[in-house]
Amino acid sequence: MTAREDHDIVVAGGGPAGCALATLLQREGHRCLVLEASTFPRYHIGESLIPHTHGTLSRLGLLEALRRSTYPVKHSVRFVSPAGSSSDPFYFSETIEGEGSRTWQVERSSFDALCVDHARASGVDVRMNAPIERVHFDGDRAVGVTVRPAPRESYDVAAKVVVDATGRRTLIGDQLGLKAPVPGLLKGSLWSYYRGGARLEGIDAGETTVFLLRGGGWFWYIPLPEDIVSVGVVDDPQRLFQEGLSPEASYDAQVAACEPLAARLTQAERNDRVRGLRELAYRNRRMAGDGWVMIGDAAAFLDPIYSSGLYLALGSAELAAESIHDALQVDDPSSTRLGAHLDLLGEGVAVIEKLIRAFYTPGFSFRRFVERHPEHRAALIDCLVGDVIGKKMTAFTNALDDMLSAAARN
């Protein structure tokens, strides 16, 4: 590969994961280049943060901007049954003290632009309209990328480490054939936005409300700035994407059929088109190799039920930044060093995956689980706020397994 320029680290994708990683590594003195395919601000789904993003956002230096923002403050999550009965709100302050017990519902176009601006202010070279066409390998080792910025000519960039932060595009996963579906998690989604949806009062005004549907699906209801609400349904793709039914017609029918949700929208008007994804879940069989590592959605995405996407994007970026820094300190960007954090991350993700599968298991209920195992209530709450990385949760997950097996037998 004859490169036009070279950098320590080339990051493919300027979303929250890519920008967080580049910001942290640039501060450590590594020369980072972020290549982003689109031009910001750009639309993105995934608006609800969970409290345990607080640590990474604080270390990045983004908290002050979030405090000044008009993003609704999220103190809690609430579940509403198909018949309309509402659980008590689950307030994060039950287990977390201080400012870390609340978080934000972010409009992604401005939040992601904030992450880019912050990376640039930290010295990162961020280029828009710079889609990476492919990653170059010398044998098994990633050595750089080809960028094709339309309508200009393509060029090559060499790097000691290539980071795949391309989100669902999964650049390296596709190129190396590593991407695979996740058996048992076959869900799709349709979503849109309303102006004028009803808001709750006081500290509940910024909550995420989850409306449960008969048959295992659910809606999110996420208040955003300027009187906008994000409303999306997650369910069996066969139900959401029926032949002869447009995504709009399918979405509108699902909203109308969910009476407790429709009641919140009586004064509201849908003010955007309906977007959708037929298959939400996937993961890569490997997430690091010689000279490369994947972070955020480029590595895996499971399900949005616990709003863990941005938490894992930022968390995996921070952990990978440490691995890359350590590898470059000893001039050894090998698979072992670049993936040094993956076991720790994988253990945390496995706990989240177990909870996701529990949510979709017919006959399983978290209320009954906590009634039978009050000693595990705190661990369950830790999972819901995202406090799962680096925690020993074997007793909790064993108890969960027992109840899931019992639910499967009945």
| Residue of the chain from 26, 284, 307, 397 that contacts ligand FAD (CB under 6 A) | 307
Residue 217 sits in the site that holds ligand FAD (CB under 6 A): no
Closest approach of Cβ 42 to ligand FAD, in Å?
6
> Residue 196 region, left (φ>0) first, then alpha (ψ -120 to 50), else beta?
left
Choice between 174 and 326, CB closer to ligand FAD: 174
91 with 222: CB under 8 angstroms?
no
Q: What are phi and psi of 150, to 5 degrees?
A: -60, 140
Residue 353 sits in the site that holds ligand FAD (CB under 6 A): no
> What H or E segment, with its residue span, contains residue 51?
none
Q: Within a 10 A sphere around the Cβ of 225, how many other Cβ atoms?
A: 13
Residue 310 sits in the site that holds ligand FAD (CB under 6 A): yes
Of residues 247-286, those binding ligand FAD (CB under 6 A) = 277, 280
Residue range at the interface with ligand FAD (CB under 6 A); choices 80-88, 310-318, 322-330, 398-406: 310-318
Q: How many residues does the chain have?
A: 410
| Residue of the chain from 9, 17, 142, 172 that contacts ligand FAD (CB under 6 A) | 17
310 with 49: CB under 8 angstroms?
yes
Choice between 103 and 335, CB closer to ligand FAD: 103
Of 193, 230, 196, 219, which Cα lies nearest the Cα of 105? 230
3-state secondary structure of 372: helix
| Distance of alpha carbon 388 from alpha carbon 397, whole angstroms | 12
Closest approach of Cβ 408 to ligand FAD, in Å?
27
Residue 35 sits in the site that holds ligand FAD (CB under 6 A): yes
Choice between 131 and 376, CB closer to ligand FAD: 131
| Residue of the chain from 189, 192, 284, 323 that contacts ligand FAD (CB under 6 A) | 189
Closest approach of Cβ 269 to ligand FAD, in Å?
22
3-state secondary structure of 87: coil
Site string for ligand FAD, 165-184 (x = CB under 6 A): xxxxx-x-------------
| Distance of alpha carbon 150 from alpha carbon 173, whole angstroms | 24
128 with 117: CB under 8 angstroms?
no
| Residue of the chain from 46, 144, 197, 333 that contacts ligand FAD (CB under 6 A) | 46
Residue range at the interface with ligand FAD (CB under 6 A); choices 14-22, 65-73, 117-125, 176-184: 14-22
Residue 129 sits in the site that holds ligand FAD (CB under 6 A): no
| Count of residues touching ligand FAD (by CB under 6 A) | 38
Residue type, 19: C
Point out which residues pair with 138 in neighbouring strands: 141
3-state secondary structure of 135: strand
Residue type, 387: D
Residue with tokens 């309309």: 84
| Residue of the chain from 8, 9, 16, 104 that contacts ligand FAD (CB under 6 A) | 16
User: Which string of b and e fits 277-295 if b means at least 16 CB within 10 Å?
Assistant: beebbbbbeebbbbbbbbb
- Per-residue DSSP letter, 156: E
Residue 45 sits in the site that holds ligand FAD (CB under 6 A): yes
Choice between 51 and 309, CB closer to ligand FAD: 309
- Per-residue DSSP letter, 86: B
Residue 13 sits in the site that holds ligand FAD (CB under 6 A): yes
175 with 134: CB under 8 angstroms?
yes
Q: Within a 10 A sphere around the Cβ of 89, how many other Cβ atoms?
A: 18
Residue range at the interface with ligand FAD (CB under 6 A); choices 33-41, 74-82, 194-202, 344-352: 33-41
Residue 124 sits in the site that holds ligand FAD (CB under 6 A): no
Residue 235 sits in the site that holds ligand FAD (CB under 6 A): no
Closest approach of Cβ 308 to ligand FAD, in Å?
6
List residues near ligand FAD by CB under 6 A: 12-18, 35-38, 44-48, 131-132, 165-169, 171, 189, 191, 232, 277, 280, 296-298, 304, 307, 309-311, 313
